[in-house]
């Protein structure tokens, strides 16, 4: 045990580990907060869909040899998020089907483009690391860390300021609109925030595992609590703990960061599910 | 001056007309019942009044100091997901959201209003309970309390008693009647229950193949009521 702590304190002296911890926890926190709304609006898979869009954007950026692909990724992802959340309302194609369509489409086109035009010698390695995030969180540069920190804090502030409005719009959009809440504006805001979080989260867990960061905290918290506020707080705490634990374990055990975090989230979900079942059983 | 004026309204979806040439006015303190067969466009009319969808022709105007966002609303079916975590308190308080503008948090006045409406609806004991674990009648009262937070003036109710048992139905009607008579809130209610409509309403709007608008005394004598009743008996 002491050996482990020694190893840990040794690792903590490396800036890349500290960066990974800060960025990882912030991104997990942001995704979990938005995740509650997404799960309740039946958009659980939007994380998956948008991250594939971001992957497609990355492929395009690679073709044009852009050194900084962040702006293009952000722009395209935000646009798709707006389209998806808007189509959810007057649904000719239902939300989940639209997400699935965009998700698969962007992934296929992205890979096709990369395959045709990429000049990289290690193509499958590149694809694998964008999809699974593998070690990229441990190779963050200082500027990227700052960008992540600033954007995450912005997202958190917006979430807190608009918490009551997000609740009203999520619970009953028709009522909110009828009584004068500008629901479309808040939907737009949500779409932008979600897109930003997803582009950020790609650095952490890669595009395939983003859904986990979005879904697990919300679902686990909903096992245990029954008011929106307590679910929000629980999901936030849950995501911070699992992300921190996941990163530390992956550093110590030398496992891929994204998969480790998700594995821990699954375990924690099981615990919450059990606790919820026992709690419910006792009450009944 | 009337609180709500509908002029020459044509309602429909995607270029398909459901109802046209609808004219009526609602004054402060009125109790208007909207009746008509299934699919005649009652809910559509209500959504148009609320501004959730725009009329194909004609317009809805408000007067008498009523603003568009001051209309309380109880939907026909709230498709609230079965797993939505929300307490009674959170839902009722969210009725105050329309007036917030950009103000991020609820203030003392909002919270006082929410408590008052919770008390009015007899929900004190349930304040901290989870909405999805309540009975249908309790849920309706929660949504009514929320609607009351959004307005002191006019309530639109879309079949507020559907799916409730006779006792709870009577309670609900009494509650709505009290709101109308004691608090002076204008009521516009969609109902399939013609007897209740006759008992409580002061005016009737019948939509469908024949359109009628007027006092309930006149309605009883009209053709619209005759055919509607007759269909009700044979059905
Ligand atoms: N979203 C929609 N898109 C297209 N048509 C619709 C839509 N909603 C309703 N309609 C059609 O409009 C007509 C009127 O519907 P509406 O819901 O207003 O009826 P209603 O009078 O409220 O019926 P009920 O008594 O069953 O509640 C129906 O023929 C229905 O098929
Ligand atoms: Mg209806």
Find the DSSP H helices in A41-135: 46-63, 70-90, 95-117, 123-132
Domain assignment of residue A282, yes or no: no
Nearest 10 degrees: Cα torsion A235, A240, A242, A248? 180
In this prediction, residue B64 carries a pLDDT of: 79
Domain assignment of residue A194, yes or no: yes
Q: Is B84 in the pocket of ligand 1 (CB under 6 A)?
A: no
Burial degree of A221 (CB within 10 A; 0-12, 13-18, 19+): buried
Mean pLDDT for the stretch of residues A58-86: 81
Q: For chain B, what percentages of helix, strand and coil (3-state, to nearest 5) are there?
A: 40, 25, 35
* DSSP conformational letter for A139: G
Domain assignment of residue B183, yes or no: no
Which pair of structure tokens corresponds to residue A88? 């959810």
CA angle, residues A269, A273, A277, in degrees to nearest 5: 170
* DSSP conformational letter for A44: T
In this prediction, residue B176 carries a pLDDT of: 92
Q: Which of A241, A258, A256 is nearest to A47 (CA)?
A: A258
In this prediction, residue A241 carries a pLDDT of: 95
Q: What is the pLDDT of residues A4-37, one digit of tens each?
A: 778 878 877 888 788 888 888 998 999 999 999 9
Q: How far apart are the C-alpha atoms of A204 and A19, rounded to whole Å?
A: 11
Q: Which residues of A touch B105 (CB under 8 A)?
A: 164
Q: How far apart are the C-alpha atoms of B193 and B162, rounded to whole Å?
A: 10
Answer for the pair A110, A55: CB distance below 8 angstroms, yes or no.
Answer: yes
Q: Is B55 in the pocket of ligand 1 (CB under 6 A)?
A: no
Domain assignment of residue A281, yes or no: no
Domain assignment of residue B176, yes or no: no
In this prediction, residue A129 carries a pLDDT of: 65
**Does residue B124 surpass a pLDDT of 60?**
yes
Answer for the pair A95, A43: CB distance below 8 angstroms, yes or no.
Answer: yes
CATH of the domain at A186: 1.10.3470.10
Q: Which of B126, B169, B165, B164 is nearest to B145 (CA)?
A: B126
Q: Is B162 in the pocket of ligand 1 (CB under 6 A)?
A: no
In this prediction, residue B164 carries a pLDDT of: 84
Which residue is it, tokens 């079965």? Answer: B82
pTM as predicted: 0.87
Q: List the strands of the sheet with B154-158, edge to edge.
A: B71-74, B154-158, B186-190, B31-35, B203-206, B212-215
Q: Is B204 helix (H, G, I), strand (E, B) or coil?
A: strand
Q: Which residues of A touch B114 (CB under 8 A)?
A: none
Domain assignment of residue A284, yes or no: no
The residue range of the domain holding A183 is 2-274
Instruction: Report the nearest-CA residue for atom 22 of ligand 1.
Output: B43
**Does residue A270 surpass a pLDDT of 60?**
yes
Banded model confidence at residue B216, pLDDT cuts 50, 70, 90: confident
The residue range of the domain holding B220 is 1-66+161-168+190-235
**Does residue A69 surpass a pLDDT of 90?**
no
Domain assignment of residue B6, yes or no: yes
Q: Which residues of B touch A225 (CB under 8 A)?
A: 85
Q: Do A178 and B73 touch (CB under 8 A)?
A: yes
Q: How many helices (H) and strands (E) does chain A have?
A: 13, 0
**Does residue B82 surpass a pLDDT of 90?**
no
**Does residue A87 surpass a pLDDT of 60?**
no
Domain count, chain A: 1
In this prediction, residue A284 carries a pLDDT of: 47
Q: How far apart are the C-alpha atoms of A195 and A79, rounded to whole Å?
A: 8
B61 CB neighbour count, 10 Å cutoff: 13
Answer for the pair B116, B92: CB distance below 8 angstroms, yes or no.
Answer: no
Domain assignment of residue B31, yes or no: yes
Chain B interface, best mutation among A89, A178, A182, A221, by max B CB count within 10 A: A178
In this prediction, residue A130 carries a pLDDT of: 64
**Does residue A144 surpass a pLDDT of 80?**
no
Pairing state between β B31-35 and B186-190: parallel
Domain assignment of residue B84, yes or no: no
Domain count, chain B: 1
Q: How far apart are the C-alpha atoms of B39 and B49, rounded to whole Å?
A: 17
Query: Closest-lying ligand to the alpha carbon of B157?
Result: 2
In this prediction, residue A43 carries a pLDDT of: 78
How many A×B Cβ pairs under 8 Å?
96
Mean pLDDT for the stretch of residues A77-91: 74
Domain assignment of residue A76, yes or no: yes
Which pair of structure tokens corresponds to residue A206? 């890669």
Closest residue in A to B143 (Cα–Cα): A175
In this prediction, residue A32 carries a pLDDT of: 93
Which pair of structure tokens corresponds to residue A117? 């035009």
Q: How many helices (H) and strands (E) does chain B have?
A: 8, 9
Q: Which helix (H) or strand (E) holds B132?
A: none
- Residues whose CB is less than 8 angstroms from the CB of residue B170 and which lie 6 or more positions away in sequence, other chains included: none
Mean pLDDT for the stretch of residues A142-154: 86
Q: Is B39 in the pocket of ligand 1 (CB under 6 A)?
A: yes
Tell me the longest C-alpha to C-alpha distance in chain A. Answer: 63
Domain assignment of residue B87, yes or no: no
Burial degree of B177 (CB within 10 A; 0-12, 13-18, 19+): middle
**Does residue B160 surpass a pLDDT of 70?**
yes
Range of lowest pLDDT (A86-100, A228-242, B59-73, B113-127): A86-100
In this prediction, residue A283 carries a pLDDT of: 54
Domain assignment of residue B85, yes or no: no
Q: Cα–Cα distances in Å, from A120 out to A59, A124, B22, B44?
A: 12, 9, 68, 58
Q: How far apart are the C-alpha atoms of B26 and B1, rounded to whole Å?
A: 9
CATH of the domain at B44: 3.40.50.300
In this prediction, residue A141 carries a pLDDT of: 75
Residues of chain A whose beta carbon is less than 8 angstroms from a beta carbon of chain B are 40, 42, 160-165, 167-168, 171-172, 174-181, 221-222, 225-231
In this prediction, residue A228 carries a pLDDT of: 94
Domain assignment of residue B194, yes or no: yes
Mean pLDDT for the stretch of residues A81-86: 81
Pairing state between β B186-190 and B154-158: parallel
Higher-confidence residue: B78 or B43?
Answer: B43
A98 CB neighbour count, 10 Å cutoff: 21
**Does residue B22 surpass a pLDDT of 50?**
yes
Q: Which helix (H) or strand (E) holds A189?
A: helix A183-205
């Amino acid at each position: 045990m002491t050996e482990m702590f020694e190893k840990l304190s040794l690792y903590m002296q490396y800036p890349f580990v500290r960066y990974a911890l800060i960025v990882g926890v912030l991104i997990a926190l942001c995704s979990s907060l938005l995740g509650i709304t997404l799960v309740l609006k039946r958009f659980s898979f939007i994380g998956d869909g948008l991250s594939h869009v971001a992957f497609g954007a990355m492929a395009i950026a690679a073709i044009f040899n852009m050194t900084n692909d962040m702006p293009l990724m952000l722009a395209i992802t935000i646009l798709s998020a707006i389209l998806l959340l808007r189509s959810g309302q007057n649904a000719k194609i239902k939300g989940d089907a639209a997400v699935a369509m965009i998700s698969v489409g962007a992934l296929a086109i992205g890979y096709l483009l990369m395959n045709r035009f990429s000049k990289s010698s290690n193509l499958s390695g590149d694809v694998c690391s964008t999809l699974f995030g593998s070690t990229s969180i441990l190779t963050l540069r200082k500027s990227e860390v700052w960008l992540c920190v600033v954007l995450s804090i912005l997202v958190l502030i917006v979430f807190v300021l608009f918490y009551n409005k997000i609740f009203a719009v999520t619970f009953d959009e028709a009522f909110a609109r009828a009584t004068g809440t500008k629901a479309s504006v808040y939907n737009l805001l949500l779409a932008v925030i979600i897109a930003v979080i997803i582009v950020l989260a790609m650095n952490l867990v890669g595009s395939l595992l983003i859904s986990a960061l979005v879904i697990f905290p919300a679902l686990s918290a909903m096992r245990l609590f029954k008011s929106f506020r307590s679910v929000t707080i629980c999901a936030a705490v849950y995501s911070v703990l699992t992300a921190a634990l996941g990163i530390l374990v992956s550093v110590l055990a030398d496992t891929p960061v994204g998969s480790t975090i998700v594995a821990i989230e699954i375990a924690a979900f099981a615990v919450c599910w059990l606790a919820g079942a026992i709690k419910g059983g006792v009450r009944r | 001056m009337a609180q709500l004026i509908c002029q020459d309204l044509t309602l429909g979806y995607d270029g398909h007309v459901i109802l046209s040439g609808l004219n009526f006015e609602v004054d402060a303190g009125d109790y208007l019942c909207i009746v008509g067969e299934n699919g005649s466009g009652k809910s559509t009319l209500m959504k148009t009044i609320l501004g959730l969808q725009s009329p194909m022709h004609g317009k809805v105007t408000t007067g008498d100091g009523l603003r568009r966002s001051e209309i309380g609303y109880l939907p026909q079916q709230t498709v609230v997901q079965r797993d939505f975590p929300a307490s009674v308190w959170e839902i009722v308080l969210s009725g105050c959201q329309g007036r917030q503008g950009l103000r991020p948090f609820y203030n003392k006045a909002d919270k006082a209003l929410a408590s008052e409406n919770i008390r009015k609806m007899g929900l004190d004991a349930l304040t901290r309970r989870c909405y999805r674990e309540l009975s249908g009648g309790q849920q309706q009262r929660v949504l009514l309390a929320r609607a009351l937070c959004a307005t002191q003036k006019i309530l639109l109710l879309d079949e507020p008693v559907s799916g409730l048992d006779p006792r709870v139905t009577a309670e609900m009607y009494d509650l709505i009647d009290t709101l109308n008579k004691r608090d002076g809130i204008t009521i516009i209610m969609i109902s399939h229950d013609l007897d209740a409509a006759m008992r409580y309403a002061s005016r009737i709007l019948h939509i469908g193949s024949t359109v009628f608008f007027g006092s309930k005394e006149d309605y009883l004598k009209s053709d619209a009521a005759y055919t509607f009743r007759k269909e009700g008996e044979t059905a």
